[in-house]
Amino acid sequence: LEEAAFQLQQIFRIDISIALNILGIESMRAGHCRVAFTCFKLAADRGYSKAQFNVGLCYEHGRGTEKDLEKAGFYYCQAASSQHPMAQYRYARYLLQHGPGSPWDRHHKAVTLLEQAAAAGITEAQAYLGVFYMRGLQPQEERGLKYLLQAANSGDAQSRYHVGVCYEQGLAVQQNLAEALRHYRQSAAAGNRQARERLRA
């Protein structure tokens, strides 16, 4: 009986958190940022990862509350620890730019989080890793191309442009100008300025 009561409490807690998060989203859409932030915060403090991510966004962009990157990082970290993929991406970016601790530790943790977010299909993480592995201190071009292709296939025009560069310069693939042109054209059609300039060149 105690176990059943505990389960009911958990379900009730989760349901309230979901409702608060939805109310926060609707309030944000209606332009009531302070109300939205309050709803997100109440749900986040109950441990709901989607709300924790939303609180992180509010703190990062100063919506409904004062802008505070440290608090944004804290809430992204909370959501990322619950395997929220977009929070993993955002927290990784926070670690690379502002995070505490030694640069090596932050870098290592950030790459791990980016890998997890990319595996979950987060295009921004795939694109970031693609460029990171291509241009890092110890470039891993094949790995970089793999992530660039994933992001490009998810519709990221900038990554499609970078894939074109790989084919034009023979990075991680055999040089193939026709294939480079194909990727540049697709990227340019999606609005990428660099790809348009490359095609003119």
The Cα–Cα gap between 169 and 158 comes to 17
The Cα–Cα gap between 63 and 6 comes to 36
Entry pTM = 0.83
| Closest by CA position to 156, among listed 190, 133, 195, 111 | 190
Compute how many other C-beta atoms are within 10 angstroms of the C-beta atom of residue 35: 16
Those residues whose C-beta lies under 8 Å from the C-beta of residue 151, and which sit 6 or more positions away, are 123, 124, 126, 127, 130, 159
Q: Which amino acid is at 57?
A: L
pLDDT, tens digit (0-9, with 9 covering 90-100), for 66-101: 999 999 999 999 999 999 999 999 999 999 888 677
Q: Which amino acid is at 185?
A: R
**pLDDT value of residue 135:** 85
84 and 53 Cβ atoms separated by less than 8 Å: yes
pLDDT, tens digit (0-9, with 9 covering 90-100), for 117-168: 999 999 999 999 999 999 876 778 999 999 999 999 999 999 999 999 999 9
**pLDDT value of residue 3:** 66
Residue ranges per structural domain of the chain: 121-200
Tokens of 110: 């950030």
156 and 127 Cβ atoms separated by less than 8 Å: yes
The architecture CATH gives domain 121-200: Alpha Horseshoe (1.25)
Tokens of 128: 């970031």
* Coil/strand/helix, residue 192: coil
**pLDDT value of residue 6:** 59
43 and 17 Cβ atoms separated by less than 8 Å: yes
